[in-house]
Structure 1
């Protein structure tokens, strides 16, 4: 019986557990034997490879994070440790591995592809939504809903105290979370690395709105800019409004997965397993225009993601 393993690498996202549940159920339905690799690539090096059973995934679909845990592995950068990881897979007779992670995880996956005869399939799983070749990454919808709830809650206190609030979102070098959250959260300012901004333009608009009765402001700032404290001071000194900063941090990575992320987990895993069955050896499952496709790891791991033009145009309207 062919054996297939799955691991989670890099930052955890809500939806990973739903993916693990589908993995166990679908592999067995297709006549394969499923294995879990605990602690990501670190666990692969340390041979934390265990046969997965239905009981391992019972009741986990509502939980954020990943029950098989994740990691970032510096050891994996050394070839000797990668060869040990490959030997561990061979010792279990595992012929295929599914990797849930981001671009760093896929670069590690590509190294294993080059150094072994094992087949790999990647599933984009990062709230940053910054993987080239795919419109959507697992976990993004849950993260956006957490940010939406935070913005809605902050608006209540902002309006009650006539304050400005600066909400900092995650995103590493990508402003996707901040931009979509700002557009859907009805905020007054959005600052992301992809769009140049001019604070004088914002000041002119904000002062005009205050004369017309506006008593509070909400700004969403991407952590990539490292400008949250500066914007806080700007509100107080230039706009003359008492201000507070809210750093959402890792709350954006957890929580009960949304319906969309549960469904996307189901579909991503199904496509990954179907691809491995069809003979895909080194692909990443990508979602575009409502459908799934397999793209070679080389097209994904070393390409830079860019936010779609339509969203960027909407974001540029904030300074008008």
Structure 2
């Protein structure tokens, strides 16, 4: 059986350990592993190559993806999807393993409906916004990158008695901001999913200043697009000199954490264990175990943040 792997959409730490495990596990099962370089664009362009142990030697500690990724506008046109399918057939590819996020799975859904190529999907995105799933490859490393950045910023915030507005990635999903705010002891957390109340926060902050608070850390999700407005709010309403730090793409990089490497190996093993007997599934991590789900259930469901985490952060939102 010839199985090809591709990484699609935004890169995330943990993709390289997944690629390494894929090659090793394929050879253990007498499958022949192939790489598709440059994601969906590479599938259209026929960038398909047989993989070997040499290709994955020494990559487990590296962030990003050695087979690279892309976001493909051409994929929206059926003629290019047909070219991609013909490239798979010409290379005698029997099945696909795709690592990606919401957009990648939606692209896979269209492709499968048209050409019925067997597949297994593995959630890989720092946004951690896949429905019916609690962990995606890359999110733990991203959270640790944010943790280190917030710890460093706190040093300056406390030294100068300033307010720092720290913007995290995540598109329209507030998971990174929410989790980081709770884990790092921030004073403010603003995310797209919850309506915040600045009046309540102002009252609380002014009371805390009277009781000795001398700096503030505010973590704001990029999807709100208000980081500089919050900076001005701190200066005008709270009376604190403020700065904005946009963490940006550093959140996607970094050496994968231990948790990342271990769970990635289990994701890949689960996918390859089922690719013949129970294909066309997304491998999810839910309630501390790996669960196979239908692709349609994933793309037709809405992601929701954890209610317990939201409860912990209510005070940080002024609600």
Give the TM-score category using the shorter length.
over 0.9
Q: CA deviation at 1:283?
A: 1.1
| C-alpha distance in 1 between matches for 2:129 and 2:21 | 24
CA contact 1:132–1:305 (8 Å) conserved in 2: yes
Count of aligned pairs: 318
SS in 2 for 1:205: helix
RMSD over aligned CA atoms reads: 0.9
CA contact 1:62–1:257 (8 Å) conserved in 2: yes
| C-alpha distance in 2 between matches for 1:89 and 1:61 | 27
Q: Which residue of 2 aligns with 1:303?
A: 301
| C-alpha distance in 1 between matches for 2:116 and 2:107 | 15
1:171 aligns to 2:167 (yes or no): no
| C-alpha distance in 1 between matches for 2:214 and 2:288 | 42
| C-alpha distance in 2 between matches for 1:235 and 1:30 | 59
Q: CA deviation at 1:118?
A: 1.6
Q: CA deviation at 1:103?
A: 1.0
| C-alpha distance in 1 between matches for 2:225 and 2:124 | 24
Between 1:29-38 and 1:111-120, the stretch displaced more is 111-120
Q: Deviations over 1:57-82 (max 9, x none)?
A: 00001110000000000101111110
Q: Which residue of 2 aligns with 1:20?
A: 19
Q: Which residue of 1 aligns with 2:190?
A: 191
SS in 1 for 2:94: strand
| C-alpha distance in 1 between matches for 2:91 and 2:216 | 57
Q: Which residue of 2 aligns with 1:207?
A: 206
Q: Which residue of 1 aligns with 2:108?
A: 109
**4+ runs of 1 displaced by more than 6 Å?**
none
Q: CA deviation at 1:116?
A: 1.7
1:151 aligns to 2:170 (yes or no): no
CA contact 1:275–1:294 (8 Å) conserved in 2: no
Q: Which residue of 1 aligns with 2:118?
A: 119
List runs of 5+ in structure 2 lacking aligned partners: none
Between 1:12-21 and 1:259-268, the stretch displaced more is 259-268
| C-alpha distance in 2 between matches for 1:79 and 1:194 | 34
SS in 2 for 1:292: strand
Q: Which residue of 2 aligns with 1:66?
A: 65
Q: CA deviation at 1:302?
A: 3.0
Q: Which residue of 1 aligns with 2:271?
A: 272
Give 1:219-298 correspondences, 5 Å limit.
219-280=218-279, 282-298=280-296
| C-alpha distance in 2 between matches for 1:58 and 1:17 | 10
Q: CA deviation at 1:315?
A: 1.5
**With structure 1 as the length reference, what TM-score do the two structures score?**
0.98
| C-alpha distance in 2 between matches for 1:221 and 1:198 | 14
Q: Deviations over 1:213-233 (max 9, x none)?
A: 111000000001111011000
**With structure 2 as the length reference, what TM-score do the two structures score?**
0.98
Q: CA deviation at 1:113?
A: 1.1
1:3 aligns to 2:2 (yes or no): yes
Q: Which residue of 1 aligns with 2:179?
A: 180
Q: CA deviation at 1:307?
A: 0.5
CA contact 1:195–1:315 (8 Å) conserved in 2: no
Q: CA deviation at 1:195?
A: 1.7
SS in 2 for 1:59: coil
| C-alpha distance in 2 between matches for 1:300 and 1:157 | 43
SS in 1 for 2:46: coil
| C-alpha distance in 2 between matches for 1:176 and 1:241 | 27
CA contact 1:5–1:34 (8 Å) conserved in 2: yes
Between 1:192-201 and 1:171-180, the stretch displaced more is 192-201
CA contact 1:170–1:223 (8 Å) conserved in 2: yes
SS in 1 for 2:309: helix
SS in 2 for 1:174: coil
Q: CA deviation at 1:317?
A: 2.6
1:91 aligns to 2:86 (yes or no): no
SS in 2 for 1:63: coil
Between 1:3-12 and 1:301-310, the stretch displaced more is 301-310
CA contact 1:42–1:71 (8 Å) conserved in 2: yes
Give 1:132-143 correspondences, 5 Å limit.
132-143=131-142
